[in-house]
């Protein structure tokens, strides 16, 4: 990209960002927060286990992220909700693992690409909760 095009592109992007409405922070319901953290712990567990097969060093980073999310779960979880939270974690782990298997071991390349995109999006939603 030429210098003028780069500047024009940057100005257009800056203008778009400045003219976008600001989001107003809304309080998050405690139950929704707990479910989100539990779901993310399950998803990251599935990602970590999948990485054990393909990328050991990445699994260590994912394990650290999962552990951080588990700390959030423990911080907001009432003791009497343990079984329910475990069910959320297991359901999310099973669903994420299915997407990862579908992405990795699928003969249909379009479907594999779709599954990879979905699994990546769900993982990013979870890792985006954490400051790295």
Task: Dump pLDDT digits (tens) for 16-68.
Answer: 334 444 445 556 789 999 999 999 999 999 999 999 999 989 999 999 999 99
Residue with tokens 């989100």: 36
The mean per-residue pLDDT over the stretch 62-80 comes to 96
d(CA 4, CA 24): 35
Q: What is the pTM of this model?
A: 0.77
* Cβ proximity of 66 and 48 under 8 Å: yes
Apex CA 90: angle with CA 129 and CA 79, to 5°? 75
Q: How confident is the model at residue 101 (pLDDT cuts 50, 70, 90)?
A: very high
User: What is the per-residue pLDDT for 28?
Assistant: 73
Q: Say whether pLDDT at 111 is over 50.
A: yes
Mean pLDDT of the chain: 85
Task: Pick the closest to residue 80 from 131, 34, 114 (CA basis).
Answer: 34
Q: Say whether pLDDT at 9 is over 50.
A: no
d(CA 76, CA 70): 10
């Amino acid at each position: 990209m030429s210098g003028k095009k780069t500047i024009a592109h940057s100005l257009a992007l800056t203008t778009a960002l400045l003219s976008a409405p600001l989001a107003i922070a809304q309080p998050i319901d405690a139950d929704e927060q707990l479910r989100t953290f539990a779901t993310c712990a399950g998803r990251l567990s599935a990602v970590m286990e999948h990485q054990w097969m393909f990328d050991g060093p990445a699994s260590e980073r994912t394990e650290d992220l999962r552990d951080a999310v588990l700390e959030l779960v423990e911080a907001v979880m009432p003791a009497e909700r343990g079984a329910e939270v475990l069910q959320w974690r297991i359901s999310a782990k099973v669903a994420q693992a299915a997407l990862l298997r579908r992405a990795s071991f699928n003969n249909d390349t379009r479907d594999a690409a779709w599954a990879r995109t979905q699994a990546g999006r769900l993982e990013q939603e979870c890792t985006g909760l954490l400051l790295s």
